[in-house]
Structure 1
Amino acid sequence: MSGHGFHVHGPHDHELEHAAHASKGSHAGQLAVVTAVLATVGALFAYMGGATQANAGLYKNDAAIKKTEASNQWNYYQAKSSKQNLAELAIELAPESRRAFYVDEVKRYKAEKNDIKAAAEKLEAESKAFDQRSDEQMHQHHRWAQATTALQIAIAMAAIALLTRRKWTEYAVYGLSAVGVALGAAAWFHL
């Protein structure tokens, strides 16, 4: 440029000015940062989803163990019932001198059965509690998975937005990001 108001452009000056004006309106840097943040948050959500799924499996396993223990107690209860029935039959068939022994046996089996029944019912309740905890963890896992999926789609949309430079794709990135974060919050608060 000369001092007399006469301006001469070099061959590349026009392209540089055009690129500078285009980059001011572009959100490429902002989208790159948003993508990095989304990837980080998505990784955390994926970790939480995996952890809740593992917990659900552990609780389900504990429920099965307690159910088996309860079943064993009910089988023991049934065995005591059979012995009680035989003792009751023996009262009728045994000579008078042995009847008192079998009456005492019937009383003993009844008392033992009450304790066994209480233990079996306690184990069944524990099994149900573990099943419920497993179901809650699976529900939370699904929320984490939904949040992770929404963030992954937002990241893919960010790449499309960078390549196409379409405004609606940027809006889709922010919208899907908001959905993903909301689902993550729902998972965090067990909703």
Structure 2
Amino acid sequence: MSDHGFHVHGPHDHEIEHAIEGAHGGGAMVNQIAMFTAIIATVAAIFSYMGGATQSNAGLFKNNAALKKVEASNQWNYYQAKSTKQALAELAMNLSPEAAKASYQAKIDRYEKEKLDIKTAAEKLELQVTEWDEQSDEQMHQHHRWAQSTTVLQISIALAAIALLTRKSWLKYGMLGVGGVGVVIGCLAALHI
């Protein structure tokens, strides 16, 4: 531009103006995609955290199930030991004289009562094993939902990058749709579905 108000454009000035303006209104699309990407990336980070947390919980619950299984096994071994003692007392009672049979019968009765208590404890532990296993399975299912959601959101972010590079509006709508699917899957995970 000269001092007299006369302005002469260089060959590249027009292109620079278009780039600054966002290539004929493309700036709005860029801003929308950038905002969408930031929001979806934040949501994906939260979903990813939840996926990790549920996976950890599933492992802890499975570990608790294994510990209870060992306790139940110990109780059943104890039950078997009492059964063996009872069987030996029955054999001794059958082989002993009449005067000694009463003492063996008392032992047999005691072992029978002890076995009942041990059996009750073992069955209670086995029930706890089942409960821990079910909780672990539920957490793994929820983990898979979180992982699916995070993956779909990452695909949406990739589509956003492609939409920015190509400036194709159909990719923008595809990005929005895929992002919506990712959020829906995340909601299913949050609802334990």
Q: With structure 2 as the length reference, what TM-score do the two structures score? A: 0.90
Identity over aligned pairs, percent: 60
Bigger drift between 18-27 and 7-16 goes to: 7-16
Paired residue for 2:70?
Answer: 68
Paired residue for 2:154?
Answer: 152
- Structure 1, gaps ≥5 residues long: 1-6
Runs in 1 of length 4+ with deviation above 4 angstroms? 16-19
CA-atom RMSD in angstroms: 1.7
- Structure 2, gaps ≥5 residues long: 1-5
Query: What does 1:1-191 align with in structure 2 at a 5 Å threshold?
Result: 10-11=9-10, 14-15=14-15, 18-19=18-19, 20=21, 22-26=23-27, 27-191=29-193
Report how far residue 22 of structure 1 moved: 3.0
Q: Deviations over 1:61-87 (max 9, x none)?
A: 000000010000001001101111111
Report how far residue 175 of structure 1 moved: 0.9
Bigger drift between 24-33 and 135-144 goes to: 24-33
How many equivalent residue pairs? 185
Report how far residue 167 of structure 1 moved: 1.6
Task: For 1:23 and 1:109, locate their aligned partners in 2 and report how far apart those are by CA, in whole Å.
Answer: 92
Report how far residue 10 of structure 1 moved: 2.9
Task: For 2:51 and 2:138, locate their aligned partners in 1 and report how far apart those are by CA, in whole Å.
Answer: 13
Question: Secondary structure of 1:10's match?
Answer: coil
Question: What amino acid is the match of 1:15?
Answer: E
Q: With structure 1 as the length reference, what TM-score do the two structures score? A: 0.91
Paired residue for 2:3?
Answer: none
Question: What amino acid is the match of 1:152?
Answer: Q
